[in-house]
Amino acid sequence: MKQAPFRLEPVLRLRRTEERAAGLAAAAAAREAAEAAARAEQQAQELATRTAPGGVDGRAFIAAMVASTTAAADVSAARALAVAQAEQAELVRVRWTEAAQRTKGLERLRERHVAALQAAAEVAEARVVDDLVTRRHGETRRKEEATWTD
């Protein structure tokens, strides 16, 4: 007996593809967020190791302070960027979770479809067996009746 195809199979394949793409995007976003956090931490450590120049004139000291202030602003911007990328990574991960849920729903429908086909096949097989038994019993009964009347 030929099984009926799952009519939503193309949609399920599309959903699986969407889920894979969302998973790859989530992994990339998480990687970018981690790299941004690492860059921010590295810049913060470099800033922390800066020391004020000793024995220099006023212009060199002011230039060093301006450079340190600029570096501090860069660290602040890098940390803000890291936070923004972490938030973005979380949003992308949520989209991946939603895609996985949509895929799972269709997979459950497919499992139900397969289970219904299997149940129908088992019922059909049971009917065939019942018909065989009933037919054999009828033939045996007729033969017995024929031998009683002889």
Residue 51, domain extent: 9-112
Provide CB contacts within 8 A for 82, sequence distance 6+.
33, 36, 37, 39, 40
pTM across the whole model: 0.68
Q: Establish if 122 belongs to a structural domain.
A: no
Which of these, 36, 140, 130, lies nearest to 89 by C-alpha position? 36
- Count of the separate structural domains present in the chain: 1
Q: Establish if 129 belongs to a structural domain.
A: no
pLDDT of residue 136: 74
User: Measured in Å, how far apart are the chain's first and last C-alpha atoms?
Assistant: 44
pLDDT in tens, 36-54: 999 999 999 998 888 877 7
Q: Establish if 148 belongs to a structural domain.
A: no
Length of the chain: 150
- Degrees (nearest 5) of the Cα angle 24, 94, 113? 80
